A = this chain, B = another copy of it.
Amino acid sequence: MLEKTTRINFLYDFYQSLLTPKQRSYMEMYFIEDFSLGEISETKQVSRQAIYDNIRRTEEMLEEYEDKLMLYQNFLERQKLIQDLEIELQEQPNPSIRTIVERLKELE
């Protein structure tokens, strides 16, 4: 559950600009400000079921965008490469560094 929430938070970071203001509002209340569905329902004066459906649909959309654009996956790969690069940089320069930089370039 925690892992899913973390993933959704990352996907939200990457793709929030493609969502509607209403979708962003519900997502931020639910995933970032940690309101319950009941609390969002009271605040927004919208049925709990409508909030639930909107958030579920938004989650699906975020996964669809990730299937198409892979921003989160590329981000994770880039972070891993940069971590490798930093380990190498603690040593002297060598061909491994060049290999890592080449892979970094191929990412996009």
Contact = CB atoms under 8 A, between A and B. Distances in A.
A69 B71 CA distance: 10
A106 to B, nearest CB: 11
A78 interface: yes
State the copy count for this chain: 2
B75 A108 contact: yes
B93 A89 contact: yes
Interface stretch (A25-33, A34-42, A46-54, A97-105): A97-105
A71 B86 CA distance: 24
Contact of A17 (B68, B79, B82, B93): B68
Given A93-B89, A93-B93, A78 B18 contact: no
Contacts of A89: 93, 97-98, 101
10 contacts: A17-B68, A18-B68, A75-B108, A82-B101, A85-B101, A86-B101, A89-B93, A89-B97, A89-B101, A93-B93
